[in-house]
Structure 1
Amino acid sequence: MYTLASILSHIHSKQHLIRDAARQIYDLAYDSRKIRNAEHSLFFALKNVRDGHTFIPDAYQKGVRAFVVSCEDIDISLCPEASFFWVEDVLTALQELASYHRQQFHKPVIGITGSNGKTIVKEWLAQLLQEDKKVYQSPKSYNSQLGVALSLWNLSDDYDCAIIEAGISLPGEMNHLEAMIRPDIGIMTNIGVAHASGFASKAAKITEKITLFKRTKDVIFPSRYGFDAYLPSETTTFTFGERDVDNVRILHIEERRDGRSSIQVSYEQEIATFTVPFVDKASIENVLICLTTLLFLGYPLDVILPKLGRLRPLEMRLQLKTGRHNCSIIDDTYSNDLASLQIALDFLHQQQQHKKKTLILSDMEGLDDKLQAKLLSVLGRQNLTRIIIVGKSLHFLVDKLATPLLFFDSTEELVRNLRNIVLENESILIKGSRRYHLEDVSKLLVAKSHETVLEINLSALEHNLQAYRSILPQHVKLMAMVKAFSYGSGSYEVANLLQFNKVDYLTVAFADEGVELRQHGIDLPIMVLSPDEQVFESLLTSNLEPEIYSFRILKSFIDFLRIRKQKAFPIHIKIDTGMHRLGFLPREMAELATLLSAAPEIKVKTVFSHLVAAGKEQHRDFTIQQIGFFSTSVDRLEVGLGYTVIRHIANTSGIINWPSAYMDMVRLGIGLYGVDMDGKMTLEKVSELKTTITQIKELPAGTTVGYDRKGLLHRASRIATVKIGYADGYSRRFGEGVGEMSINGQKVSTVGSICMDMCMLDVTDIVAHELDEVVVFPDLMEAARRIDTIPYELLVNLSARVKRVYYYG
């Protein structure tokens, strides 16, 4: 707990205006959409893609009365009761405050960094230590410059130790993280290609990451990476590997037929053998890091090894799934602590598709009086329909919350009674620690479907949105294309994220798509492309704004609105500047303006056109001609209308290649979903199509596989049948070796024809087992090239029966 007066001494402010020095601060806010405890929040106006200073009025309206800012020309008269701290850099001020707060924690802090495995090692270590300690861990992947600061803010002496993850992508970043974390014990997981592009060499990347431990006494790591050569000479190392000098020696690792690995180690003259439920090298290395860390902390081998055998792969991603009875299921069942609970609750409240919201919550580990009070405070600020509690330690909540509570002593008891609980037309967050196995509840609530799934990374989509926003001037609006089921990625789930991120417009191809969005809580303006007379009623009742592209449609829509006595209904005029698909021709502007100006039933919101070849340098002159035709046409139209309109012509490629075409708004399409047709953006993959191996067969040379015997085997082969076919949208053109899939990171080719629900792969040269996961398109651009198409077609052709799973990762 801090007051505004005490905070003043912990950040370097140029000037300040404190109206209430005794105001207590519990929460640090940086996003006006996520404010829950406004009265006791300190808002940091960060300058990222969008300038946080522009959201100060919104935060003030929600009740925030304390702000850290860097702009000196803020009109503080709009916030008459607010206190302000003016600083050089807002993020630096936030880090300064987090650094001071961390120094008040006098228990061991374990800092983890490396290229891969950081989050898994952190989570596993927390699980292993929680049996006899209260462990604080940074939530999910909160390992960035901002994430670490927010993680440390929740640290308190109620915990016995803390595990904080640190991640970097550019030189110079780790110094800031080290100043905040100041780890007492360090763990370096490995070094690899992740974020390699930001560093001149592998040595430069190691040097940067090792900076986290420049004041750390003890550092734990796998010896094979040679990190000790980069550490300060006074650092004590504790390593595992195959060297005689390693503290923990790896004597033997063997993959077993049951899908487990047997590992033999030596530690202080004691030799022990144990098994773990993993065979991949990365998981085994992560297990050995955990083993070595526990040995360093003084746990004996005979206590540690049974725990390691109980470790399981972690589904570390908060997932949004389609549930039974028109429910949305948010599955976050791998851990349960106050910090990650708050993150999950924030995501729950982002979901606007249902008014009812239910939380299914398991007991938490190590809740003393202070932590109970914090949990009560968190839950008390939520607008929940009900809370279903599993376990016995949360009964203290009885009579302390206005929200109705249901209690079950165990997950098994909840499962037995689930049919008696009415769960329909609502969003349900399932949040529980691993030992409660609430994933069993999730499986019962999620709608059953085909086992082929399209995983959609909402945080990647959000990253891509911000990447494009970062190159646009502040005044330029952004229209996001969610037509064709959001390029295969889903409808209201994606639209809800875009609405939360305050895009200005959405665009759908058909009125039915817009109606569904309205039914699921989307209230952004929605433009419907090329509607016909049959959908006019839907446009009106769902407040959908039509694209008007011809005199016939325009006159019909005006007549329709006149009969219903509508005035100034918003429409969007499309001009054909060269695509020659739909739209009014430039020579028709005078006639169009006359008709529009005589129709009070409509109001032109935007006028737009479509660039034919914005990404093709050889058509540069044609693009310039299009922009010219468009600007001249809109000028003429505005004269006739007597008012101005929003102009937009730049599509995704136009955003990248034609700043002169930004005008008032741009339309972001395929790039939002992670496909960079121009090769100029750093985008993240949004969707990944996955299936599983149903069966593997050993077949002799000369055997044929599939319909019409098109798959002839020229050698003895192992053939895997996987659960995807042309009914799922996997084109028959991928048959006979054209298509490639990936199993355990290894590429394999199709064999024979693609069937309706299945296809076959040659797995002769790789390690593969039945039920293994299969990535259908390891490289989407390459897959499109192989069948002479474009990525758009592969994405939008995915069948609706392919289950969509949404997650933050």
Structure 2
Amino acid sequence: MKLTLEEIAKAVEGRLIGDNAVVTAVSTDTRTISNGALFIPLKGASFDGHKFIDVAVENGAVAVISQEEINTTVPVIMVEDTHKALGDLARYYRSIHKIPVVGITGSTGKTTTKDIVASVLAQKYNVLKTEGNFNNDVGVPLTLFRLEDDTECAVIEMGMNHFGEISYLTHIANPDMAVITNVGVSHIENLGSREGILKAKCEMFESMEDGYKVLNGDDDMLVTVKDKYKNICYFSMNDKNAEVYADNIQPKGIEGISCTIHTKDVSFDVDIPVPGLHMVSNAMAATAIALKIGLNADEIKKGIESFVPTKMRMDIVKTDRYTIVNDVYNANPNSTKAGIDVVAPVEGKSCCILGDMLELGDFGPKLHSEVGQYAIEKNIDILVCIGEISKSMYEGALSLRKENVYYFPTQEEFWEKMGNILEDGMTILIKASRGMHFEKTTERIKEIK
């Protein structure tokens, strides 16, 4: 990155105080400041980055964007709102880079789809992708600031839990192509219904009327927009007439799943190294994007087969006593059922340790109960439900089976008893919403000798 302060001031509609200079990075966090960086202090209900401007300068910041009058030794660009300035600057910086940008959203599978799309595109291009949880109104701009002169395409994950958020992120990232993985019930507490969630996800199309839109044709909500937008490509495991279609699907336990992917121009067999039927959908989405950008079938196959998921997402951990499916990064009803589907057919005994799925509002108890029933219907040998809302999951499971169903209000209470519940050779799914921090339980189980 090389931007002048005059250039930045124009992009954010700000007023430069001090000499012009060149910045080589942008940061909102004094802990990540590098020499030559521009510091943008953000202000929220319980924090104010303006208090740390001196620290930012000490750590190497050569300029600051501020919405408050400040005394500092470096040039300042004055604006009305630093949060808006962050987005405006990211939009400008993205506009400088004339490269394909893929935006990815959906109720479940955003991160995994982002990773597999990036893995495939990396077979031919230098790819920038969203890292970690940088998928919101701060993370997306910070991701775009990582664009370099040699970046050839970008894969940007976009998260949301309210109306207007995808619209804002799309305005900043200006994607040429979009993927919507599915429309589930995540954030239904804020959006009211699946229809509301669909509307929020489709905000991505507002500024890309002619852009390429890759949608899950097996999702009952996404198929309803077929005639509403142009340039839609559907992928499906059920509709042979879809633009991308998969058959010959062969689960390989926790080692992965194989399938044959077809389009009107190519067909190829592929071994996906991560388990779950949902991975076939993710691979089809990657295929659709890759073909549009110019990859061939061999490159797509190699990219899918070399895919490595983000940490704590279907991460297979083998200990001396157990095989752990560590899927603790986040959870909602659809993704939890997908996780259950992975461990249900394994050889030996299966165990699901499941925690609260958050942001479901009044729908929470019913949806938790349904997940508990689903686990029993799939013949999970041992079900452990942990957390306040998961009491409903426990009760749902009990309505179908009394044996080997356990409930604990907290993880700590489960840890005290887990030695009497878990058995050698078990395959164990561990899954809950991010706010439950179930990686603690994963670490506890890994320590069992």
Q: 1:223 aligns with which of 201, 217, 228?
A: 217
Whole-Å Cα distance in 1 between the matches of residues 92 and 26 of structure 2? 14
SS, match of residue 224 in structure 1: coil
Q: Could you say if the C-alpha distance between residues 162 and 788 of structure 1 is closer, same or farther in structure 2, counting changes exceeding 3 Å?
A: closer
Contact residue 114 and residue 209 of structure 1 kept, 8 A: yes
Whole-Å Cα distance in 2 between the matches of residues 792 and 244 of structure 1? 45
- Following superposition, the deviation at residue 215 of structure 1 comes to 3.1
Contact residue 67 and residue 82 of structure 1 kept, 8 A: yes
Contact residue 216 and residue 235 of structure 2 kept, 8 A: yes
Q: 1:68 aligns with which of 65, 69, 76?
A: 65
What does residue 791 of structure 1 align with? 410
Whole-Å Cα distance in 2 between the matches of residues 170 and 280 of structure 1? 29
What does residue 122 of structure 1 align with? 114
Matched, 1:36 2:34: yes
Aligned 1:65-104 pairs, distance under 5 A: 65-71=62-68, 74-76=69-71, 79=72, 81-104=73-96
- Summarize deviations over 1:549-585 as a string: whole Å, max 9, x none: xxxxxxxxxxxxxxxxxxxxxxxxxxxxxxxxxxxxx
What does residue 238 of structure 1 align with? 233
Whole-Å Cα distance in 2 between the matches of residues 148 and 171 of structure 1? 17
What does residue 443 of structure 2 align with? 804
Contact residue 259 and residue 279 of structure 1 kept, 8 A: yes
- Following superposition, the deviation at residue 44 of structure 1 comes to 1.4
Whole-Å Cα distance in 2 between the matches of residues 278 and 26 of structure 1? 38
What does residue 189 of structure 2 align with? 197
Whole-Å Cα distance in 2 between the matches of residues 454 and 273 of structure 1? 26
Alignment-mate amino acid for residue 53 of structure 1? H
What does residue 50 of structure 1 align with? 47
Whole-Å Cα distance in 2 between the matches of residues 788 and 203 of structure 1? 33
Contact residue 169 and residue 195 of structure 1 kept, 8 A: yes
- Following superposition, the deviation at residue 144 of structure 1 comes to 0.3
Q: Could you say if the C-alpha distance between residues 19 and 168 of structure 1 is closer, same or farther in structure 2, counting changes exceeding 3 Å?
A: same
Contact residue 103 and residue 156 of structure 2 kept, 8 A: yes
Alignment-mate amino acid for residue 10 of structure 1? A
Aligned 1:413-428 pairs, distance under 5 A: none
Contact residue 174 and residue 208 of structure 1 kept, 8 A: yes
- Following superposition, the deviation at residue 273 of structure 1 comes to 4.7
Q: Could you say if the C-alpha distance between residues 231 and 243 of structure 1 is closer, same or farther in structure 2, counting changes exceeding 3 Å?
A: closer
Alignment-mate amino acid for residue 263 of structure 1? C
Q: 1:173 aligns with which of 161, 165, 190?
A: 165
SS, match of residue 289 in structure 2: helix
Contact residue 43 and residue 67 of structure 1 kept, 8 A: yes
Whole-Å Cα distance in 2 between the matches of residues 748 and 248 of structure 1? 29
Contact residue 265 and residue 273 of structure 1 kept, 8 A: yes
Alignment-mate amino acid for residue 135 of structure 2? N
Whole-Å Cα distance in 2 between the matches of residues 788 and 778 of structure 1? 6
Contact residue 11 and residue 96 of structure 1 kept, 8 A: yes
Alignment-mate amino acid for residue 219 of structure 1? K
Larger RCO, structure (CA 8 Å, separation 6 or more)? 2
**TM-score, normalised by the number of residues in structure 2:** 0.70
What does residue 19 of structure 1 align with? 18
Aligned 1:124-143 pairs, distance under 5 A: 124-143=116-135
Q: Could you say if the C-alpha distance between residues 148 and 232 of structure 1 is closer, same or farther in structure 2, counting changes exceeding 3 Å?
A: farther
SS, match of residue 98 in structure 1: helix
Whole-Å Cα distance in 1 between the matches of residues 243 and 257 of structure 2? 21
What does residue 149 of structure 2 align with? 157
- Following superposition, the deviation at residue 138 of structure 1 comes to 2.0
What does residue 285 of structure 2 align with? 289
- Following superposition, the deviation at residue 223 of structure 1 comes to 1.8
Matched, 1:112 2:108: no
SS, match of residue 132 in structure 2: coil
Q: Could you say if the C-alpha distance between residues 793 and 250 of structure 1 is closer, same or farther in structure 2, counting changes exceeding 3 Å?
A: closer
Contact residue 214 and residue 232 of structure 1 kept, 8 A: no
Contact residue 452 and residue 803 of structure 1 kept, 8 A: no
Whole-Å Cα distance in 1 between the matches of residues 323 and 384 of structure 2? 10
- Summarize deviations over 1:683-713 as a string: whole Å, max 9, x none: xxxxxxxxx99x966xxxxxxxxxxxxxxxx
Whole-Å Cα distance in 2 between the matches of residues 721 and 177 of structure 1? 40
- Summarize deviations over 1:246-295 as a string: whole Å, max 9, x none: 21234453446796544344422765554434552222211221222223
Contact residue 113 and residue 167 of structure 1 kept, 8 A: yes
**TM-score, normalised by the number of residues in structure 1:** 0.41
Larger Cα-atom Rg: 1
- Greater shift, 255-264 or 292-301, is seen at 255-264
Q: Could you say if the C-alpha distance between residues 108 and 746 of structure 1 is closer, same or farther in structure 2, counting changes exceeding 3 Å?
A: same
- Following superposition, the deviation at residue 93 of structure 1 comes to 0.4
Contact residue 107 and residue 161 of structure 1 kept, 8 A: yes
Alignment-mate amino acid for residue 111 of structure 2? T
Alignment-mate amino acid for residue 178 of structure 1? T
- Summarize deviations over 1:493-529 as a string: whole Å, max 9, x none: xxxxxxxxxxxxxxxxxxxxxxxxxxxxxxxxxxxxx
Q: Could you say if the C-alpha distance between residues 449 and 33 of structure 1 is closer, same or farther in structure 2, counting changes exceeding 3 Å?
A: farther
Contact residue 183 and residue 213 of structure 1 kept, 8 A: no
Contact residue 114 and residue 191 of structure 1 kept, 8 A: yes
What does residue 316 of structure 1 align with? 311
Aligned 1:650-669 pairs, distance under 5 A: none
Whole-Å Cα distance in 2 between the matches of residues 272 and 147 of structure 1? 36
Q: Could you say if the C-alpha distance between residues 173 and 787 of structure 1 is closer, same or farther in structure 2, counting changes exceeding 3 Å?
A: closer
- Summarize deviations over 1:318-344 as a string: whole Å, max 9, x none: 9xxxxxxxxxxxxxxx9xxxxxxxxxx
Q: How many residues align?
A: 378
Alignment-mate amino acid for residue 191 of structure 2? F
Contact residue 105 and residue 158 of structure 2 kept, 8 A: yes
Contact residue 16 and residue 75 of structure 2 kept, 8 A: yes
Question: Structure 1 vs Structure 2: percent identity of aligned residues?
Answer: 23
- Greater shift, 190-199 or 250-259, is seen at 250-259
- Following superposition, the deviation at residue 767 of structure 1 comes to 5.9
Q: 1:304 aligns with which of 300, 308, 312?
A: 300
What does residue 10 of structure 2 align with? 9
- Following superposition, the deviation at residue 316 of structure 1 comes to 2.7
Q: Could you say if the C-alpha distance between residues 258 and 4 of structure 1 is closer, same or farther in structure 2, counting changes exceeding 3 Å?
A: closer
What does residue 344 of structure 1 align with? none
Q: Could you say if the C-alpha distance between residues 56 and 131 of structure 1 is closer, same or farther in structure 2, counting changes exceeding 3 Å?
A: same
SS, match of residue 169 in structure 1: coil
Contact residue 135 and residue 162 of structure 1 kept, 8 A: yes
Whole-Å Cα distance in 2 between the matches of residues 277 and 803 of structure 1? 21
- Summarize deviations over 1:381-420 as a string: whole Å, max 9, x none: xxxxxxxxxxxxxxxxxxxxxxxxxxxxxxxxxxxxxxxx
Q: Could you say if the C-alpha distance between residues 231 and 34 of structure 1 is closer, same or farther in structure 2, counting changes exceeding 3 Å?
A: farther
Whole-Å Cα distance in 2 between the matches of residues 201 and 131 of structure 1? 39
Contact residue 214 and residue 231 of structure 1 kept, 8 A: no
- Following superposition, the deviation at residue 155 of structure 1 comes to 0.9
- Following superposition, the deviation at residue 143 of structure 1 comes to 0.9
Contact residue 454 and residue 803 of structure 1 kept, 8 A: no
- Following superposition, the deviation at residue 804 of structure 1 comes to 2.8
Alignment-mate amino acid for residue 3 of structure 1? T
Contact residue 454 and residue 804 of structure 1 kept, 8 A: no
Whole-Å Cα distance in 2 between the matches of residues 273 and 452 of structure 1? 28
Aligned 1:401-800 pairs, distance under 5 A: 720=349, 765-766=377-378, 776-779=384-387, 791=410, 794=413, 797=416
- Following superposition, the deviation at residue 152 of structure 1 comes to 0.6
SS, match of residue 211 in structure 1: helix
SS, match of residue 9 in structure 1: helix
Whole-Å Cα distance in 2 between the matches of residues 8 and 284 of structure 1? 46
